[in-house]
Every structure is written in structure tokens, then in C-alpha cells.
Structure 1
Amino acid sequence: MSVTYYFAIVGAADSPLYEAEFGVQRNENKHLHQFVVHAALDLVEDALFATNSCYLKTIDTYQNLNVSAYVTPSNVRLMLVHEVKSEEAIRAFFAGCHELFVRTLLNPFYDPSMPIQSRAFDAKVNALAKKFLI
């Protein structure tokens, strides 16, 4: 079974800071995942009023794709497009990615308004995906 995951970090001003795809690619339009995440951003804002948790679980579905979200205290959204997966595995993946993002913010050479283009960050996110998602 080939499953594709799409992960995006969206800044407080709705600017994309990071994106990655995991798993085996199928014959899908690569921009479909970006569209699904963009469409779900408004639902993240609505879901924030219903809970005080950072992890918002599955907030949207499109065909057979689910969108889960995690919102940091600074309103940065971590979004994951996935098929059926354990909520605990997704929560653990988000927690690990949030920790990596905070470590990146603590780097004095990182400009928070710019996308993350670190190979080390990318490798660590991929390791988290292999550990919890794939």
C-alpha cells in the first residue's frame, strides 16, 4: 500500500515556512496537497475557538485525505495531509516537529520571516516521519 504524507509549516501571516512529502508518490497532482492545506487554514482558526489544546486532530477531509493540525502559541500552524493514521502517532510527530521548529527559531542566524532551508532540519523531519508515520 503506497501512502503519501504532506507536511507544511505555515507562518502566522499565512506564509509557507516549510513543506515536505513523505512516503511513496502516486500519480497524484503534487499541488493537490498544497491546495488541501490552504483550504483547511480557515478551519484551523475555527477549531482554535473550540479547544485550548495545541493539537487539533483531524480538522478537514477531502476525498480520502485527512488534514490534521497543530498550532503553536505564536500561531504557527503545522499541517499534515494523510490518509488513515493513528492519532497518537500524528500527535507525536507534531510534538517532535514543534520541538525542531523551536530549536530553529533559537538559532540567531535564522530569519523567522524566511522559509526554512536547512538540510539538517529536513533530515530530522524525515527521521520523525519514518519513526511515527511510515
Structure 2
Amino acid sequence: MSVYYFAIVGATDNPIYEADITPSSRSSTLIDISRRDDHKHLNQFITHAALDVVEEIQWTSQAMYLKSIDRFNEFFVSSFVTAGNVKLMLLHDQKSEDSIKNFFNEIYELYIKILMNPFYEKNFPITSQQFDVRVKAVARRFL
């Protein structure tokens, strides 16, 4: 079972959006739920720790897609930095650079559409259910 955790981090390093894209099992018990909560905190920690690496690499590269920038045990962290210094971060356990790059490009397009909404204030949390559904649909297509 593959593990994917996606987060959007604002220009001031504040969390804007997060999604656990791990396929869920059909039979979940109380132990599984608490284990998922523990993994959620670990995923957040790993992703947050990789922000320092992103900030170092982003100034030495002209590309928006920074590829796999960090590693923690069997997990990789890939990143995409927008022109507004918003970071799209993906924690994953399988390396497939082409599909991850396509995933980031699609998500960046969705994020631009959110920014064009006159009711959305830049660097504030994204609470749109429609955005969440679309992110998970893009994840199913590419990851």
C-alpha cells in the first residue's frame, strides 16, 4: 500500500491545505484509526522538516518543480515552489518523477483557480470541499 501525504505551505510557512491520500482499508478498527492519527503527525513532521531544504534549493534552481528534495527512512519528499513562494509538498514512498511532476502541475493549476476567486485571501487556509475533491481526483489519476 502506497503512502501519499500532500500539503500546501504558504509564503510565510503557514499551512494552507493538507490531504492524506493514503488508500484506506475497508475494515478499519479503533487501532487502525489511532495508528493513522500517529502517521498524520509523523507525515506533518517530515514535511515540515523538509521546508528548510526547499528554501535552500529554491534559490539555486530556476525550476518550479524541485523533484525529490529530502528523504526520511523509506519516504521521499518532493516539492514544487510557485512564483508567489507557496510550496506544494508531497510525501511519498515510491519514486515516479514523471507522475509526481504531472500531479504538481495539475494541482498548481487548481491552486491558481483558487487564487483567482475574489473571496479567497492569499496565504489563508483553503476550506473548499470542491478543491479537496479535485485534489484527490488528481491524486488518483497520477499517483
Q: How does 1:1-134 map to 2 (within 5 A)?
A: 2-24=1-23, 27=35, 29=38, 30-133=40-143
Structure 2 gaps, min length 5: 25-31
How far did residue 86 of structure 1 move?
A: 1.0
Normalised by the length of structure 1, the TM-score is 0.94
CA displacement, residues 77-134 of structure 1 (integer Å, 9 cap, x when unaligned): 000000113100000000000000000000001122320000110010000000000x
Q: Which has the larger radius of gyration?
A: 2
CA RMSD of aligned residues (A): 1.2
The alignment-based identity, stated in percent, is 48
Q: Distance in 2 between matches of 1:85 and 1:128?
A: 17
Q: 4+ residue runs of structure 1 moved beyond 6 angstroms?
A: none
Normalised by the length of structure 2, the TM-score is 0.88
Q: For structure 1, which segment, 88-97 or 108-117, has the greater mean C-alpha deviation from structure 2 after superposition?
A: 108-117
Structure 1 gaps, min length 5: none
